[in-house]
């Protein structure tokens, strides 16, 4: 046991003395949360909209008012010809135009039917989609209000509720993604690199000649990164609760427990890489291209897995982060318990056993 602590202590010296790496390790989650939370957001806030109001009556005024009252839109400009739409889109600042035809109020009252046209700049399809959705929702809202006032006999009203995330915040999506990414980087990449570094410098050979149990050497190398990931998980959760207002709806114990499980999976992947890679560069390359890239692309964090073609969907099954991401979303955002995520938990446990077993097997072969 004393021997084991000697190893762990030495490992901490390495980390603390390499100040640059340590700052990167501890600052990474903070920076990622800030970047995703405040810079890379696809939410709509005070988006500028142009309006061509051809009827200028009480109904259109009321609709425009409602649009302005929402915090999503800002009426920037009134336009008077169809040509103007294109010229303002080309300037690029305004991405949505609403056209209210003549006799809007009369049509609404006499025929119970009026038309609104939304024209969006779809050069960025995601933004166009989001903007038109928001605008339609506001128009629908307006319609509900007036039909309610008039008490028409037969109307079907659609009521939409955004469960778990009523404000459609992007943070609900990326906080779990950032957790998966940070854990993977800290555990897999750093563990792989430090073990390979000892192989490169020759110190690993000296330790293998010593009576120290090789398995214990490797476990001791993983312990500091395990502790460091705990610090990072705490940072991310605190930031998301207090800065981004993303609550932990489910059991915190379950969330932390699942995170520990994923950390162990990442560590065993790091060990596996270290048994295969001959140089620190190779270890870095495998970690980044072989793990980080699939994590970002195929875990469902950037692109929904349901929309992927079958081959990619199949591949996504072997990406551990996919299952962890799904667990965090369920536990943290939806607030559901183990009975709903047992399948994912089982898959991660299976991966842990598989990767760890493979890593240990390779490690022994190398010794013989």
Partner 1 sequence: MAIVSMNEKVIVAENLTKKFGDFTAVDHISFGVHKGEIFGFLGANGAGKTTAMRMLSGLSMPTSGNAMVAGFDVYRENEKIKRNIGYMSQKFSLYEDLTVRENIRFYAGIYGMSSHFIKEKMGQVLGELHLTAEGDKLVKSLPLGWKQKLAFSVAIFHEPRIVFLDEPTGGVDPVTRREFWHMIYEAAASGITVFVTTHYMDEAEYCDRVSIMVDGRIDALDTPQQLKKTYAAESMDEVFLKLARKATRAAD
Binding site residues, partner 1, CB under 8 A: 2-3, 6-7, 9-10, 13-14, 17-18, 201-203, 205-212, 367-368
What distance in Å separates the CA atoms of residue 226 and residue 121, rounded to the nearest whole number? 47
Residue number with CB closer to partner 1 (221 or 322): 221
Residue number with CB closer to partner 1 (9 or 110): 9
Calculate Rg over the CA atoms of the chain: 27
The side-by-side arrangement of strands in the sheet containing 117-120 is 73-78, 47-53, 96-100, 117-120
Here the tokens at position 155 are: 């109307």
> Minimum CB separation from partner 1 for residue 204, in Å?
9
Residue number with CB closer to partner 1 (16 or 38): 16
What distance in Å separates the CA atoms of residue 63 and residue 100, rounded to the nearest whole number? 10
What distance in Å separates the CA atoms of residue 170 and residue 40, rounded to the nearest whole number? 9
Phi, psi of 256 (to 5 degrees): -65, -40
CA dihedral 237, 38, 42, 82 (to 10 degrees): 160
Residue number with CB closer to partner 1 (208 or 353): 208
> Minimum CB separation from partner 1 for residue 367, in Å?
7
> Minimum CB separation from partner 1 for residue 17, in Å?
5
- Residue-level length of the chain: 368
> Minimum CB separation from partner 1 for residue 281, in Å?
18
> Minimum CB separation from partner 1 for residue 365, in Å?
11
> Minimum CB separation from partner 1 for residue 9, in Å?
8
Residue entry with tokens 């600052």: 27
What distance in Å separates the CA atoms of residue 40 and residue 44, rounded to the nearest whole number? 12
Residue number with CB closer to partner 1 (105 or 198): 198
Residue number with CB closer to partner 1 (14 or 103): 14
Here the tokens at position 65 are: 């008012």
Spatial CB neighbours of 147, under 8 Å, sequence gap ≥ 6: 155, 157
């Amino acid at each position: 046991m004393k021997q084991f602590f000697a190893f762990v202590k030495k490992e901490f010296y390495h980390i603390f003395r390499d100040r640059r790496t340590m700052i990167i390790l501890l600052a990474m989650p903070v920076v990622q949360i800030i970047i995703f939370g405040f810079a890379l957001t696809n939410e709509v806030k005070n988006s500028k909209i142009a309006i061509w109001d051809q009827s200028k009556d009480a109904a259109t005024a009321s609709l425009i008012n409602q649009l302005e009252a929402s915090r999503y839109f800002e009426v920037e400009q009134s336009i008077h010809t169809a040509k103007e739409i294109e010229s303002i889109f080309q300037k690029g600042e305004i991405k949505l135009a609403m056209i209210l035809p003549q006799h809007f109020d009369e049509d609404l009252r006499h025929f119970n039917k009026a038309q609104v046209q939304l024209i969006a700049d779809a050069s960025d399809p995601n933004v166009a989609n989001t903007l038109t959705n928001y605008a339609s929702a506001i128009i629908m809202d307006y319609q509900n209000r007036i039909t309610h006032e008039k008490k028409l006999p037969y109307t079907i009203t659609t009521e939409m509720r955004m469960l778990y995330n009523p404000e459609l915040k992007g943070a609900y999506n990326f906080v779990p993604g950032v957790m998966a990414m940070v854990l993977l980087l800290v555990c897999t990449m750093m563990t792989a690199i430090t073990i390979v570094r000892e192989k490169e410098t020759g110190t690993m050979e000296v330790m293998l000649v010593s009576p120290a149990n090789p398995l214990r050497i490797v476990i001791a190398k993983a312990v500091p990164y395990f502790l460091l990931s705990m610090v990072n998980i705490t940072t991310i959760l605190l930031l998301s609760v207090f800065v981004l207002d993303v609550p932990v709806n489910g059991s915190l114990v379950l969330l932390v427990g699942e995170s520990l499980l994923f950390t162990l999976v990442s560590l065993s992947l790091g060990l596996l890489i270290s048994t295969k890679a001959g140089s620190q560069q190779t270890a870095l390359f495998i970690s980044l291209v072989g793990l980080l890239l699939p994590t970002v692309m195929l875990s469902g964090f950037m692109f929904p897995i349901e929309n992927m073609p079958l081959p990619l969907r199949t591949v996504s099954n072997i990406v551990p982060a996919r299952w962890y991401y799904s667990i965090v979303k369920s536990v943290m955002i939806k607030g559901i318990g183990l009975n709903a995520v047992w399948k994912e938990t089982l898959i991660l446990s299976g991966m842990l056993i598989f990767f760890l077993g493979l890593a240990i097997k390779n490690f022994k072969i190398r010794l013989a």
